[in-house]
Amino acid sequence: MTTARPTARPTALVTGATSGIGRAIAIDLGRTHHVLVGGRNRARIDELVGSLPSAEPFAGDLVQGPIPPLPASLDVLVHSAGVEAGSTVEHTERETWETVFAANVFAVAELTRLALPALRAASGLVVTINSGSGFSSTPGGAVYAASKFALRAFTDALREEERLHGVRVSSVHPGRTDTAMQRAKVAAEGDEYDTRLYLAPESVAAAVRSVVDLPPGGTIETLSMRPTLRRG
């Protein structure tokens, strides 16, 4: 399913666009961009495509492949797909490490590599949705944090490599956000879920919009955001 593309709309590819932060980003960018809706669940992809003014599916498993065909020119690439798993180092086996890194780092690197010609053609922008865990780790969070540290290193290197090609690169680090993944995490921790303590996905989308809308002469290289309230 594809909705008609108005002329002169820039193109944005959003991975993980069928839920949570990725969906909020796709909806926000849909106001001004032709959105390639990335995900694995075709029914959810088609539902979102049908609700946007200009969109088309980008359906596929970025870990297992193959990666769907990319356009010749790409203005924005938002990496929002990701997973969280693992426990303490003592209780986390190698398979879990490999699964998390495959989704949060390796798939991002491969899609970016394939998209670079299209990004260079448009003097485009790469946005990685990282995490507060990309700056610090806590007990039981080694696997996820290590993948986000690696993602930050990837983003930093890509930014410097692509300066001369006119491709801007931004790393957005939201704190805990009200998503299905967050609710599952809090339930596993045995805490009461209070939505006031979490960012809304739309707030993260607004931050991404700030990155996207900055004139091309500048780059918001790293953006960190946290919920205003904290658990007492």
> Is it the case that residue 209 has pLDDT exceeding 60?
yes
Q: Is residue 231 part of a domain?
A: no
Q: For residue 95, is it within any domain?
A: yes
**Is residue 230 one of the residues assigned to a domain?**
no
pLDDT at 193: 74
> Is residue 156 a part of any domain in this protein?
yes
Supply φ then ψ for residue 69, to 5 degrees. -60, 145
Residue 201 in any domain: the answer is yes
pLDDT (0 to 100) of residue 7:
56
Range of the domain at 176: 11-225
d(CA 180, CA 174): 15
Residue 26 belongs to a domain? yes
Distance CA(189)–CA(219), nearest Å, equals 37
Q: Does a structural domain hold residue 214? A: yes
pLDDT at residue 1 above 80? no
Band of residue 2 on the pLDDT scale cut at 50, 70, 90: low
pLDDT digits (tens, 9 = 90+) for 172-205: 999 888 777 777 777 777 777 777 888 999 999 9
Res 5 pLDDT > 60: no
Cα dihedral 53, 58, 59, 62 sign: negative
CATH of the domain at 108: 3.40.50.720
- The pLDDT tens digits of the residues spanning 83-138 come to 999 999 999 999 999 999 999 999 999 999 999 999 999 999 999 999 999 999 99
Cα torsion through 47, 50, 51, 53, rounded to 10? 150
- Whether the model clears a pTM of 0.85, i.e. scores above it, the answer is yes
Q: At residue 63, what are phi and psi to the nearest 5 degrees?
A: -85, -50
Q: Which helix (H) or strand (E) holds 59?
A: strand 55-59
* 2 located within any domain: no
Residue 71: closest CA among 19, 27, 124: 124
Total number of domains constituting the chain: 1
The catalytic residues are 144
